[in-house]
Amino acid sequence: MQATIIVAGVPGVGKTTVLQELEAVAKERKVPLQIINFGNVMNELFKKRGVEIHRDHMRKEDITLQGKIQEEAARMISKTPGNSTLVVDTHMFVRTNDGIWPGTPRKVLEALDPSMIILIEADPEEVARRRAADTTRYRDSQKLEDAKADLQWSRNMASAIAVLAGVPIQILQNQNGQQRQSAEELLKIIEKRT
């Protein structure tokens, strides 16, 4: 059966950057894996319902609608064809207008059925700096104290999910300029688990 690995990280931690490197490293080493961005799938599903919005605005939509789309996205992802390991690029939590909301509530978790959770982290100072420097995105906050709180929330949510799913958590650092090394480390963790 196809193994699914959840890779999560707070906005601006560099998760997408590390996953792009992972794709390149996996190709070089001929390791079959597919990387799916949960936000992209949700954005397409919003579009299908006639809601054309920027990916950074989805979290501000009505929470009931977000919840429906979140579940639908998880079901779609779970039906991805092929036998290669599935790496799901997502969030442990999302800051909505209604509060902090789990990225993988029970039904989403059941659909994805992950065999492990990998949290990408960086120093909070670095996360705040990356958020401020990346002008292509709409970030909720670029303050250091918010980066620290987000990193903590991410771990809190990961703990809850790990208990429910009975799976391990690994924490991977994405230090400044070290995205390639982080991707190599990530591939090693994935290969060991699948």
Among the listed ranges 25-33, 143-151, 155-163, 172-180, the one in contact with ligand AP5 (CB under 6 A) is 172-180
- Judged by CB under 6 A, does residue 124 bind ligand AP5? no
Give the angle subtended at the CA of 159 by the CAs of 187 and 163, to the nearest 5°: 100
Contact present, 90 and 4 (Cβ < 8 Å):
no
**Of the residues 70, 85, 115, 154, which one makes contact with ligand AP5 according to CB under 6 A:** 70
Helix axes 63-78, 38-48, angle to 10 degrees: 120
Number of residues this chain uses to bind ligand AP5 (CB under 6 A): 32
Phi, psi of 49 (to 5 degrees): -90, 10
Phi, psi of 118 (to 5 degrees): -120, 125
- Judged by CB under 6 A, does residue 4 bind ligand AP5? no
- Judged by CB under 6 A, does residue 11 bind ligand AP5? yes
3-class SS of residue 165: helix
Q: How far is the CB of 3 from ligand AP5 (least distance, A)?
A: 18
- Calpha distance 52→32 (Å, rounded): 33
- Judged by CB under 6 A, does residue 103 bind ligand AP5? yes
* Residue ranges in contact with ligand AP5 by CB under 6 A: 9, 11-17, 37-39, 42, 55-56, 58-59, 70, 89-91, 94, 103-104, 130, 133-134, 137, 174, 176-179
